[in-house]
Amino acid sequence: MMRTRPLKVALLGCGVVGSEVARIMTTHADDLTARIGAPVELAGVAVRRPDRVREGIDQNLVTTDATALVKRGDIDVVVEVIGGIEPARTLITTAFEHGASVVSANKALLAQDGAALHAVAGQHDKDLYYEAAVAGAIPLIRPLRESLAGDKINRVMGIVNGTTNFILDKMDSTGAGYQEALDEATALGYAEADPTADVEGFDAAAKAAILAGIAFHTRVRLDDVYREGMTEVTAADFASAREMGCTIKLLAICERAADGASVTARVHPAMIPLSHPLASVRGAYNAVFVESDAAGQLMFYGPGAGGSPTASAVLGDLVAVCRNRLSGATGPGESAYAALPVSPMGEVVTRYHISLDVADKPGVLAQVATVFAEHGVSIDTVRQSGKDGEASLVVVTHRASDAALTGTVEALRKLDTVRGVASIMRVEGE
């Protein structure tokens, strides 16, 4: 039976995503009503600049007092798309305390304080949904915490930032340098004026923390995620990758240890074989590859950012939360029962591609090989080229720990025949 009294929604933030949420709520109002079982009503919109014209939004709904809006008591769902830590954290907590469930797209806040927010939601028997916080429109959070809830997930690896994927794809396909590719991404609107959060991996690291926490039923905070940016990736690195039948992607990787006793979460550039599904993800698209015991290998692919895709994920959560509201139930909360330790990066085991500038004379390769052997790092392949007294030596290892590789490189730098370490890159996806 259809309920006639509308469910009231408060919207915090009306930028690119928020305005799309409001537009879809209006244009798809009848469909949303049919899917939920009751009409939804936009009851207020909190903004910082109230004088800006917002097409399709009743100016009478606009307020600068977000706190008063979430404290009204008649609000059923608060949609938070303002981002950042504060005031978002306080507003979400206040919403729970005053009877509202919350839909958020705030990856930074969830990565930092997700456990505390889930605790407050649980205390007040309210929902906290955040599909839009990771990979935009791609259904990922709900499949991990609902569809795969009966399975054991061993690895989540993916491209979760469209800006960095666009830049790396442009470098790969055209031979452009990093700065040239970044400039094009900025001109096309894929990169912010300050791209630091994207290109230094902060954005992807927040998403990795969220994914690892859900996949492994363990609290993983942003500080637990190892992070490397991609600003040092060069055209020469792509040339080396092509020689190995690889390309380069900025990957978020969340893994369960082979013995199941710990987990790791990391973000860094990596060479990945062209045969791997993630290698074919082009432009500003995102994709996440999931490996589990029963389901096997799954890949989720689609637009990972932008107003409409992100709003789609927000609206999906809004429908789910409103349905829960009508039935008097709540959806899944935090699942952290496993409480596995998060291992440091030094314990992560993977393959490595190391490019060395060396003297072009007899015995160099033997010296380098000896250093690798002394540190327990097995060599898979070696390629040497050079002339006029200078040479390039490229070494690809078998799987080794990050700590062992770090010790190896430190020792290599001390060799008189090694002029410098041109690049070090992990090789994933094999």
How many CB atoms within 10 Å of residue 134? Answer: 29
Q: Which helix (H) or strand (E) holds 364?
A: helix 364-374
Catalytic residue (one of 207, 249, 361, 387): 207
Pairing state between β 77-80 and 7-12: parallel
Return the closest-CA partner of residue 231 out of 188, 265, 197, 281: 197
156: which residues sit within 8 A by CB, 6+ positions away? 144, 211, 212, 215, 252, 253, 254, 255, 288, 289, 290, 291
The label of the residue with tokens 């969340």 reads: 254
CA distance 54 to 239: 48
CA distance 197 to 201: 6
Residue 111 Cα distances to 43, 69, 105, 213, 335, angstroms? 29, 25, 11, 9, 15
Do 136 and 309 contact (CB within 8 A), yes or no?
yes
The label of the residue with tokens 């009478």 reads: 60
How many CB atoms within 10 Å of residue 11? Answer: 30
Q: What's the half-sphere exposure (Cβ side, CA atoms, 13 Å) at 407?
A: 13
How many CB atoms within 10 Å of residue 123? Answer: 10
Whether residue 87 is preceded by a cis peptide bond, meaning omega within 30 degrees of 0, is: yes
Catalytic residue check, 207: yes
DSSP 3-state of 71: coil
CA distance 210 to 106: 11
DSSP 3-state of 397: strand
CA distance 279 to 249: 8
DSSP 3-state of 129: strand
* Buried b / exposed e along 267-304 (16+ C-beta atoms within 10 A): bbbbbbbeebebbebeebbbbbbbebeeeeebebbbbb
CA distance 303 to 292: 24
Q: Residues with catalytic annotation?
A: 207
